[in-house]
């Protein structure tokens, strides 16, 4: 197997360099403790959520997709909701007995952004009259899922792609049609690239910066410095003085208090401040770079210095067009292809998000768009449905200007006003 050969080659190179190879069990324990083998800040997997900007970006993306209704349509001389399909309520309300659709989508999107891939097992009935029909969709921990390209048919004779899931130290093999797989950016079309892996340096810098600020506050906002002493000190005396001085000057309780120095000692603080070190500018640059990598707009992270009401509306539209549209399309295509049978696909069934929640403008702009749409291609009941209002008996007819009369009446000549000027 290509993947196994790559792992063996990497392990051989590590041993050749006289470096210790950490076993898988030890590495998992270290990751659970939030530590790192290399002594750096561990930002792999869920540990990346400890960094504020990464947490905010993933929260925004997961909530943006979780709040959108997911429904089934059928394209049969016009798109209509397929409310009678057996999967309609499963996708709209509850993909499995333990999760709502919102929870399911949120889990999938968080996994996709942390690990580059989001997986869900398609559970089907194995007996009874519904045998073979979809029963539930279960998200899987992406860190426990491996995808193998079986070119020689060793694992399966019918499929060249096999998903191997580690569940309680037991490996289970799943066929492609048993797994929903939504990817992040990909190089080969099969496996997504973990964004945190590519942003490791930026995320570590942000995490280390936050840790530095935290330590700075714990030290009572006091800068480090150099103590000068004329004379010689024994190692023991130096140790005692250092401990006493830190006990007297460090910590929030000692902030801005008077510190007494013995005769012969002089304290000179370092003149390097956060502003001198351009710490604030570098931190803001790191935040913007991480946000840009996730497709998050500045105003969504409360960066409002150069924003106005008009620009915020445009940025929100750009967020949908530039960021969310590609993500939603990936979900829609995977759900449509994996959940419907071939005859259903031929009949025009497909899954689609309702993106009105992302694109809805203010009420004045929305009503002006309705007014223009009602002049020939929208019915009053379609508009009322978008506003979640009950339908009217005569609301399924098309209207036309001038007097917004029924188009059918205008054609018959018994309705509408004359086009001649008075």
Top-confidence residue, 275 or 184? 184
pLDDT digit string (tens) for 407-418?
677 667 665 554
State residue 319's pLDDT score: 87
pLDDT for residue 68 is more than 60:
yes
pLDDT-wise least confident of 30-44, 206-220, 277-291, 406-420: 30-44
CA-based torsion, 373, 378, 384, 387: positive or negative? negative
pLDDT digit string (tens) for 245-291?
666 655 555 555 556 666 666 666 655 555 545 666 677 778 888 88
pLDDT-wise least confident of 137-141, 228-232, 385-389: 228-232
pTM attached to this predicted model = 0.71
Residue 374, sorted as left (phi over 0), alpha (psi -120 to 50) or beta, turns out to be alpha
pLDDT digit string (tens) for 89-117?
999 999 999 999 999 999 999 999 999 99
Top-confidence residue, 32 or 165? 165
Sorting pLDDT into bands at 50, 70 and 90, what band is 33? Answer: very low
C-alpha 364/C-alpha 374 separation (Å) is 15
pLDDT digit string (tens) for 331-354?
999 999 999 999 999 999 999 998
pLDDT digit string (tens) for 277-331?
566 667 777 888 888 889 998 888 877 666 555 566 777 788 888 899 999 999 9
323-to-292, 293, 296, 316, 398 alpha-carbon distances in Å: 10, 10, 8, 10, 35
State residue 373's pLDDT score: 87
State residue 2's pLDDT score: 36
pLDDT-wise least confident of 17-21, 55-59, 211-215: 17-21
pLDDT for residue 7 is more than 50:
no
pLDDT-wise least confident of 34-38, 119-123, 368-372: 34-38
């Amino acid at each position: 197997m290509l993947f196994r050969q790559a792992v063996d080659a990497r392990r051989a190179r590590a041993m050749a360099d006289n470096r210790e190879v950490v076993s898988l069990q030890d590495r998992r324990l270290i990751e659970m403790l939030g530590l790192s083998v290399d002594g750096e800040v561990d930002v792999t997997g869920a540990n990346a959520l400890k960094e504020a900007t990464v947490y905010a970006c993933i929260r925004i993306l997961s909530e943006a997709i979780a709040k959108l209704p997911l429904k089934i349509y059928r394209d049969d001389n016009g798109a209509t909701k397929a409310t009678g399909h057996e999967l309609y309520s499963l996708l709209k309300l509850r993909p499995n007995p333990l999760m709502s659709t919102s929870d399911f989508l949120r889990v999938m999107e968080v996994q996709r952004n942390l690990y580059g891939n989001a997986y869900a097992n398609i559970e089907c009935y194995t007996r009874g009259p519904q045998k073979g029909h979809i029963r539930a969709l279960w998200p899987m921990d992406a860190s426990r899922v491996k995808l193998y390209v079986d070119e020689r048919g060793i694992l399966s004779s019918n499929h060249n792609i096999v998903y191997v899931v580690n569940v309680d130290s037991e490996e289970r093999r799943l066929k492609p049609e048993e797994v929903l797989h939504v990817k992040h950016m990909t190089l080969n079309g099969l496996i997504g690239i973990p964004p945190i892996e590519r942003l490791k340096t930026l995320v570590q810098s942000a995490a280390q910066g936050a840790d530095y600020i935290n330590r700075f506050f714990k030290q009572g906002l006091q800068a480090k410095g150099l103590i000068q002493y004329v004379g010689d000190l024994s190692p023991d005396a130096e140790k005692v003085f250092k401990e006493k001085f830190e006990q007297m000057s460090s910590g929030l309780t000692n902030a801005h208090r008077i510190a007494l120095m013995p005769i012969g000692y002089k304290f000179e603080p370092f003149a390097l401040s956060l502003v001198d070190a351009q710490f604030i500018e570098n931190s803001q640059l790191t935040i913007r770079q991480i946000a840009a990598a996730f497709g998050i707009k500045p105003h969504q992270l409360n960066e409002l210095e150069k924003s106005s009401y008009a620009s915020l509306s445009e940025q929100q539209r750009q967020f949908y067009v530039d960021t969310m549209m590609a993500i939603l399309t990936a979900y829609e295509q995977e759900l449509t292809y994996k959940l419907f049978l071939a005859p259903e696909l031929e009949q025009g069934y497909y899954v689609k998000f309702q993106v009105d929640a992302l694109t809805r403008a203010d009420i004045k702009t929305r009503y002006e768009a309705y007014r223009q749409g009602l002049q020939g291609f929208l019915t009053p009941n379609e508009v009322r449905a978008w506003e979640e209002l009950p339908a009217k008996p005569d609301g399924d007819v098309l209207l036309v200007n001038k007097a917004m009369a029924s188009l059918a009446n205008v054609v018959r000549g018994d309705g509408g006003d004359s086009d001649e000027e008075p």
